[in-house]
Amino acid sequence: MKTLVLTRSEVERLAEMELAIAAVESAFAAFGRGEATMPAKVYLPIEDHDGDFRAMPARLGASAGIKWVNVHKHNRERHGLPTVMGVYVLNDPANAFPLAVMDGTSLTALRTGAAAGVASKHLASAAPGSIAFIGCGVQARTLHAAHRVVFGDFESLVHDRNAEAASQFASEIGGRVVSLETAAAADIVCTATPARVPFLESGWITPGAHINAMGADAPGKQELAPGVLRAADVYIDDIHQAEGSGEINVPLACGDFAIDDIAGTLGEVVAGLLPRPAATVTTVFDSTGLAIQDLALARSIYDAARARGLGIEIDLVGLGE
């Protein structure tokens, strides 16, 4: 038995957004039904370098695995390296054999975009006229790609504090650079920023809109003003992660939001255990990023690689075969 090694270029070649959405949607449904095992995400702060590491293990059916990933917000300007880098190890839970080691950086970006696409599919209007992307970094690209797969045609509105980044992204996707207030009034709003001071105000949101709050993935981060949460039905990916590091973590600590205010989990909606919200209801998806998303996509990529003969096989554990 040998372990398959997949580089970033191979992962990106294999992981088309359609595959990512299918994998992530099935993972949410399984999680909603209680069929997955997912211990708490472990954070390792690296405060002297303005970063952290995260360990994310999970088991789902015939697959188990773990992602080791960082977020170092100054990496690009200080070291010429990506803000986020990761490695994924996929195992067979029956015998613990490492089936694959693959790039986790592109895996993370793809599954995060796919998660937002799945959330919009189940929580938003079935035919949005406009979708806004606030924050125009790497993640914005996969958010846009996922929504194209789910909805097809729509007007893309783009906003970023960095005008050059906004202009570049708008040019790539055929979008329009707009003010923050205009972006906030879109039918679907996707936020993907590292903000620690909320910038999205409730008065800007169109009633019945859907918001994918993707940026808050660590304690202290917050993109939405508390009034946005109070005026919406809020769905989370996982209660334990959301209360510690999601969009609701600061409002919970400040008394501006309560656990009882949560409408449910996205997994429960995807699994059919909770009804789809009415079209007139404003909804928020608080995404912290789940280890089962990584696992489901990693397994799909591994299976596709085996079928297509991609990757390099190595005797990682020294079986001598």
Please give the Cα distance from 313 to 292 (Å, whole number). 25
Residue 168: C-alpha distances to residues 26, 146, 292, 295 (Å): 33, 19, 33, 32
DSSP SS3 for 191: strand
The residues, any chain, with a CB within 8 Å of residue 278's CB and separated by 6 or more, are none
Residue 88 contacts residue 102 (beta carbons within 8 Å): yes
C-alpha distance across the termini of the chain, in Å: 6
- Side-chain half-sphere CA neighbours of 236 within 13 A: 23
- Surface-to-core class of residue 22, CB atoms within 10 Å of its CB (0-12 exposed, 13-18 middle, 19+ buried): middle
- Surface-to-core class of residue 224, CB atoms within 10 Å of its CB (0-12 exposed, 13-18 middle, 19+ buried): buried
Known active-site residue 121:
no
Q: Which of 41, 67, 121, 221 is catalytic?
A: 67
DSSP SS3 for 266: helix
Q: Cα-atom radius of gyration of the chain, to the nearest Å?
A: 19
Catalytically active residues are 67
